[in-house]
Amino acid sequence: MSAAWATVIAVGGGTAVLKAVGPVVVGGRPLPPRLLGLLSMLAPALLAALVIDEGFASGRSLVLDARVAGLAAGASAVMLRAPIWAVVVAGAAATALARLLF
């Protein structure tokens, strides 16, 4: 088996297990309220980290590049209470424009 196929199989199998732990083990059973309270704080924590990762990370460096323009445009759209699709389109357009100009 080639290195490529070995990687495809191992990553696919491993990822399937990581994704399935909660849905398969916990299933439809109710969780304790204290745990639910903790999990409800997971979304803001993870999403903020994803903004940093998608907006500023380049490998192991933090950089300011064209994505900053995308984030600024996205933030402006959020302030204007634009729907989520408009935020995404504004982010892509501003990033592409900044990359073209600079």
Partner 1 sequence: MWVAAPLVPAAAALGASFGVLARTAHMGAAAAVVMSATTFAGSAQVAAVSVLGGGGGVAAAVAAALLLNTRYTPIGISIAQSFRGRFLRRLTEAQLVIDESWALAGGGTAGFDRGVFLGAGVALWVAWTAGTAVGALLGGVIGNPSSFGLDGAFAALFLALVGSQLRSRRAFAAATGGALIAVALTPVAPPGIPILAATVAALAGWRRK
Considering only residues 36 to 75 of the shown chain, the ones binding partner 1 according to CB under 8 A are 37-57, 59-62, 66-67, 69-71, 73-75
Q: Which helix (H) or strand (E) holds 46?
A: helix 42-56
Considering only residues 72 to 91 of the shown chain, the ones binding partner 1 according to CB under 8 A are 73-75, 77-78, 84-85, 87-91
With beta carbons less than 8 A apart as the criterion, state whether 91 and 99 touch: no
Task: Measure the CA–CA gap between 65 and 58, rounded to whole angstroms.
Answer: 10
- Give phi and psi for 83, each to the nearest 5: -65, 165
30 belongs to the binding site for partner 1 (CB under 8 A): yes
14 belongs to the binding site for partner 1 (CB under 8 A): yes
Least Å distance, CB 73 to partner 1, is 7
Q: Tell me which DSSP letter residue 32 carries.
A: P
Q: At 65, is the secondary structure helix, strand, or coil?
A: coil
Least Å distance, CB 67 to partner 1, is 5
Residue 64 is which amino acid? L
Least Å distance, CB 43 to partner 1, is 4
Least Å distance, CB 76 to partner 1, is 10
